[in-house]
Structure 1
């Protein structure tokens, strides 16, 4: 039901560029899937999808390293890109007006292969950042909102430390502690493992 492809490329913002490895999540059934965060390498993603139908390409946010393979996936499959409109300014940095997306809304439920994905708007790392909670699978796909060891970076344009902490506290730490956190970069963790460290993150200005 859940697959992962790790792709490599660059993240660019505010005049800087960094080498990154991204987790691309593929969620669904033997017939259809959604791709969460189409990063860097459309061919690798298509190989992992196999012959299944891509119902949607869902973006946890629109930093270029999370969307730069979305255009090629759309061209190859005709799938629709879904993105919270709060990240329109970041989307346009990568695609201008040439490509469009269908807006995601907080509280919306996506269904693919019998799996429910509940959209949680979690701004902070980016204005339109979302997490996708799959309660029946006991997991949440957090993009760059929450990692093993702390929140996503907030030192660049369109980000806010105070906002991301509020998002994590209200939207993520309220999930069951056994919920597996599947991140946009790096290893998995659980809500229960991260919850005790909230005040430490705040004190450190993580």
Structure 2
């Protein structure tokens, strides 16, 4: 069962949170990981952000609600491995930024996403807008989803509590992720809750003062 995470829009949309466990594999290595799965909606319809590892558990958390879309913040296998099974089960389309198609094919060579995400695109669920922000760096097609009415942004693996996501593997670039965080995320209101792909949430205001430290460390 997903845990509700507090934020609610005036129309009734809320954020539910599920943690799933599995592996992440890239560049010849494999690591055990726990992933945050975010479900945004009301009692009637919902969007899943990052269908990680366990389609059955995610479907159970969605329940009887209509699943509007399965949104991928990026195409690393730990964020998309359960997406096709969840799509087959619910009929919901899988949406991915086209710059991550090459990465997607490493996990799902025989199943393409159903639609594309574009910078500035707006997805609406339960009367609540999720605005797509293209935030490359962790990988080329990484996006964040900003929900002004909920006072939150879903950053995938672009921004965590404590700094940027990893950029030491294929398809990633540290200067690019710093630009994305500085120009697209740290410009959001300081009280905006940052809901991440792994680990604890944070806020824009908590992370903004540390930008120069991250640049200096170059991690």
Q: TM-score, normalised by structure 2?
A: 0.93
Q: Partner of 2:112 in structure 1?
A: 99
Deviations 1:28-73 (A, max 9, x none): 1110000000000011101111100100000000000000000110
What is the aligned counterpart of 1:121 among 127, 134, 137?
Answer: 134
Structure 2 residue ranges without an equivalent (≥5): 1-13
1:17-166 pair list within 5 angstroms: 17-166=30-179
- Regions of 4+ moved over 2 Å: 97-101
Residues 71 and 99, structure 1, Cα contact 8 Å, conserved in 2: no
Instruction: Write the deviation string for residues 141-192 of structure 1: whole angstroms up to 9, x where unpaired.
Output: 0000000000000000000000000000000000000000000000000000
Residue matched to 1:191: 204
Question: How many residue pairs get matched?
Answer: 206
Q: Which residue of structure 2 aligns with residue 169 of structure 1?
A: 182
Name the SS for the 1:110 alignment partner: strand
CA distance in 1, matches of 2:116, 2:175: 25
Separation (CA, whole Å) in 2 of partners of 1:113 and 1:89: 32
The CA RMSD measured in Å over matched residues stands at 0.6
- Cα distance in 1 for partners of 2:28, 2:211 equals 31
Question: How far is 1:98 from its partner?
Answer: 2.8
Candidates 5, 15, 22, aligned match of 1:2: 15
Q: CA deviation at 1:99?
A: 3.2
Cα distance in 2 between the residues matched to 1:41 and 1:166: 33
The answer to whether the Cα contact below 8 Å between 2:96 and 2:113 also exists between their aligned partners in 1 is no
- How far off is 1:131 after superposition? 0.2
